[in-house]
Chain A
């Protein structure tokens, strides 16, 4: 199956710093990638849809100035958590679907666990 990677897998930072998370599709090009957040014992919640070459589409309640998304190439989307606070501590997961009709599923990256002290 298609492979999606994320980096870093884990990050611990101080309150007020910014953290960048990378999501890469390794063996396919993705015009659209998705960013999710998952709190402990909760389900994945879609934060935003990342569109290559254009602005991301944010879900209701997600601050676009706090969660900056850049989809500069067909294989890379980045999520930057600006001025992180302890309540931003969560598991951030990206996903992408290979183009064409052959794939019905989205492939998920391994996730990034963010801890803000």
Chain B
């Protein structure tokens, strides 16, 4: 079983739609959780950290369920510019080593 698993997609949605991605992780001792965004042939960039209480940043909402070991990302009112691959990332130890999921590809269409 992979340490961090995501549905690779692609998710094809129209502009304005709401889309949700889930991610599961296998290490119950995982400490920190993130969603990164990666555009084609570019480096990953932090979209948002994920906190136990859930957090929201504009159109983006992240949730963490430690009991079930899954993380979610909700994107409301999708824009064309949201088209990218979304990476679920887990930090398992204080050494700041990140484990990446395989990514979920989102394509927002006009």
Q: Are B41 and A104 in contact (CB under 8 A)?
A: no
Known: A104-B32, A105-B49. Contact between A46 and B43, CB under 8 A? Answer: no
Q: Is the CB–CB distance between A49 and B100 below 8 Å?
A: no
CB contacts (< 8 Å) of A32 on chain B: these are 95-96
Residues of A within 8 A of B25 (CB): none
Q: For the complex, count residues of B whose C-beta is within 8 A of A.
A: 19
B21 within 8 A of A: no
Interface contact B41-A44, CB-CB below 8 Å: no
- Among A46, A104, A108, A109, point to the contact of B97 (Cβ < 8 A): A46
Task: Kindly state whether residue B20 has any CB partner on chain A within 8 Å.
Answer: no
Which residues does B use to contact A, with CB under 8 Å?
32, 34, 41-46, 49, 87, 95-103
Interface CB pairs A-B, < 8 A, 26: A32-B95, A32-B96, A34-B96, A34-B97, A42-B102, A43-B87, A43-B100, A43-B102, A43-B103, A44-B87, A44-B100, A46-B97, A46-B99, A49-B95, A91-B41, A93-B43, A93-B44, A97-B96, A105-B46, A105-B49, A106-B98, A108-B43, A108-B44, A110-B42, A111-B41, A113-B41
